[in-house]
Structure 1
Amino acid sequence: MIQPDKDSKNGVQSLEIGLSVARVLVNSQGPMMLKDIALQADMPPAKAHRYLVSLIRAGMVIQDPATSHYDLGPFALNIGLAAVNRIDRIRLGLEAISRLRNQINETTALAVWSANGPVIVRWERPRRPITVNVVTGVSVELLNSASGLVFSAWLPERRTSALIQAELARQPADAPIQTMADVQQRLAEIREKGIVAIGEHYFAGGVQALGAPVFNFRNEITMVMVVVGIVGMSDLGEDSMAMHALREAAQALSRQLGSTQPDAQASRLNHIDAIPGG
């Protein structure tokens, strides 16, 4: 019978240090110089170099012979792709909105992107006598829904411009957004705050909502978490407990999906993974 290693719970310190060096490259935006890697790994350059040599031998790191800069190697890519293949983003999203519902006792929902705009794929009912029922499987508009505004703020314009133009053409006279200039101003405000709150001019009367983006391992928006409540009954203000809980839940889910963004307040990203029906 194999006896357990007495030191198994202690781990291998040298491996942990080596992976901390690799983690610096994972979090970087591209190839790095030795001195910069050492600085971010909080170790002398000579020590960082020794670990980089071992990481190169293992295929985790490569070094450009022309510049001497270091970057992630083919084995690191294989690990990343294998991890991504094991992630079920929708399942994780459904678990996240369920936990959030339990935390704030408000209706929560999960939206993904489709060819026709955002689609609500699931909602969770709170434990209270009067609630908001969210219709699943139906596309919602971009300018008068929380999920639509969030997707519009972080998707590239080529993915949203046609839908936005069509919505502008049928906006009511009292709507606050009437022109593309109005749209750009509103979306810039959302990106600055990293989250959206909408009450007036929501597509459903007497209803208010919050929305926060969820990013994937490429730091691209992939889903939106939504909180929905009744005006006058739910506190969904910009400094409410629900707002803070939603922000934290969306950031935690983004980290689960491999995002390395520090928070949602980032510039417009370049792509989203669309799934059939979502």
Structure 2
Amino acid sequence: MTVTAVSRCLTLLEFLAGQSEPVEISELAGVLDMPVSAVHRLLSTLTGHGWVIQDPGSQKYALSLRMCTLAFRNLDARKVPDVVQTVLERLAAETREYCRLAILEGQELVWVARAQGAVNGLKYDPDMGQEIVLHATANGKAWLATLPEEEALGIAYSKGFGGDRRLGPNSARNVDELRVRLAETRERGFATSVEEAEAGTAAIAVPFRANPDSNARIAGTISVAGPLVRITPERWEELARALHRAAAELTEIWSLRSRQRHVSRQALAAVT
């Protein structure tokens, strides 16, 4: 399979991942800017490998659950759910808000775990499949603020500001605005997002490291989010303290996991 064909397959899978209902082949051909016959060949291959399913009645196509299964298998292999869920649930119970954890993958943050702490009134419960827009989210700014300024701004600029994303009314519109917000994040010691990623919501976030060394790489971020009427500036310091405690726990857990993996590799090498 050529690089172009692989790219088209990935584009097709990404498009189907965002659809709640099966899609006509003609619509997929429009998305890929390809003839229907060529798209049909791609779909036949993906269907044969179990990535896509075709509705027998409508003949429309949808993503199978194979990708979800592989994603959960990968998380289980990393022991991510086990090591973070207890910390997240404790944080959610303490803050009485929605808490999430994201892991750093290259120049992207990816949601991997969540816990709902709100027990009554308005509940914030966003889709875990949403992209983490770095310049508009508390999690994104919490990570970017740990980088040298030019590197952070370069990453954010490369991903664009606004575009066709449906962001909140207060999201940064350019590099200069983001520079100011990252400086504020460094000064405060935590990141905020007030109607930046989404209208009517606010969030607080901090990063956690792979080990307790202050120069250790950032492993991910952890956040508390909820309706704007509850995540008010008066609560920021209180929520930030809770987040820093949880981040310290996660850093210890990540460090332990790294040591365990190192010991396991040494033991395996000794046997072989």
> Which one has a bigger Cα radius of gyration?
1
Kept in 2, the 8 Å contact 1:236–1:243? The answer is no
Corresponding residue of 1:194: 189
Match of 2:161 among 168, 173, 198: 168
Give the CA RMSD over aligned residues: 3.3
How far apart, CA to CA, are the structure 2 residues paired with 1:105 and 1:176?
26
Match of 1:113 among 104, 114, 118: 104
Which protein has greater RCO, CA pairs closer than 8 Å, 6+ apart?
1
Partner letter of residue 153 of structure 1? A
1:177 Cα shift?
3.1
Match of 1:180 among 150, 175, 179: 175
**3-state SS of 1:135 partner:** coil
Partner letter of residue 110 of structure 2? V
Corresponding residue of 2:85: 94
Kept in 1, the 8 Å contact 2:91–2:246? The answer is yes
* Aligned-residue identity in percent: 19
Kept in 2, the 8 Å contact 1:237–1:243? The answer is no
Instruction: Select the structure that is richer in helix.
Output: 2
1:214 aligns with 2:208: yes
**3-state SS of 2:145 partner:** helix
Kept in 2, the 8 Å contact 1:94–1:122? The answer is yes
**3-state SS of 1:109 partner:** strand
**Structure 1 stretch 214-223 or stretch 102-111: which is displaced more?**
214-223
**3-state SS of 1:188 partner:** helix
**Structure 1 stretch 132-141 or stretch 89-98: which is displaced more?**
89-98
1:159 Cα shift?
7.3
**3-state SS of 1:198 partner:** strand
How far apart, CA to CA, are the structure 1 residues paired with 2:170 and 2:95?
30
How far apart, CA to CA, are the structure 2 residues paired with 1:98 and 1:146?
19
TM-score by length of 2: 0.54
How far apart, CA to CA, are the structure 2 residues paired with 1:160 and 1:187?
9
1:208 Cα shift?
0.5
Corresponding residue of 1:71: none
How far apart, CA to CA, are the structure 2 residues paired with 1:128 and 1:236?
21
Kept in 1, the 8 Å contact 2:137–2:192? The answer is no
How far apart, CA to CA, are the structure 2 residues paired with 1:111 and 1:151?
10
Corresponding residue of 2:250: 253
